[in-house]
Amino acid sequence: MAETRLVLMRHGQSLGNEANLFTGWNDLDLSASGHEEARKAGKLMREHGFLFDAAHCSMLKRTIHTLHHCLDELNQAWLPEYRSWRLNERHYGALQGLNKDDTIARYGREQVQQWRRGFDVTPPEVTLDSPHYPGNDPRYASIPVSDLPRAESLATTMKRVLPYWQDTLLPSLRQGQSLLVITHGTVMRALIGHLNGLDPEDARTLEIPTGTPLVYESDETGTPRHAHSLDSSDVRIHS
* Residues catalogued as catalytic: 11, 89
Confirm or deny that 140 is annotated as ligand binding: no
| 121 CB neighbour count, 10 Å cutoff | 15
C-alpha distances (whole Å) from 20 to each of 15, 16, 102, 156 are: 8, 6, 10, 23
Confirm or deny that 100 is annotated as ligand binding: yes
Confirm or deny that 62 is annotated as ligand binding: yes
C-alpha distances (whole Å) from 104 to each of 16, 110, 168 are: 17, 8, 38
Confirm or deny that 226 is annotated as ligand binding: no
Backbone angles phi and psi of 226, in degrees to 5: -125, 140
- β-partners of residue 214 are 8, 229
Confirm or deny that 222 is annotated as ligand binding: no
Mark 25-42 as b/e (b = at least 16 C-beta within 10 Å).
bbbbbbbeebbebbbbbb
Confirm or deny that 13 is annotated as ligand binding: yes
Confirm or deny that 23 is annotated as ligand binding: yes
Confirm or deny that 24 is annotated as ligand binding: yes
Confirm or deny that 108 is annotated as ligand binding: no
C-alpha distances (whole Å) from 217 to each of 94, 134, 194, 227 are: 39, 35, 15, 6
How far apart are alpha carbons 137 and 26 in whole angstroms?
11
Confirm or deny that 17 is annotated as ligand binding: yes
Confirm or deny that 90 is annotated as ligand binding: yes
C-alpha distances (whole Å) from 5 to each of 46, 153, 212, 214 are: 14, 29, 16, 10
How far apart are alpha carbons 180 and 214 in whole angstroms?
10
Confirm or deny that 12 is annotated as ligand binding: yes
As annotated, the binding site for substrate includes 10-17, 23-24, 62, 89-92, 100, 116-117
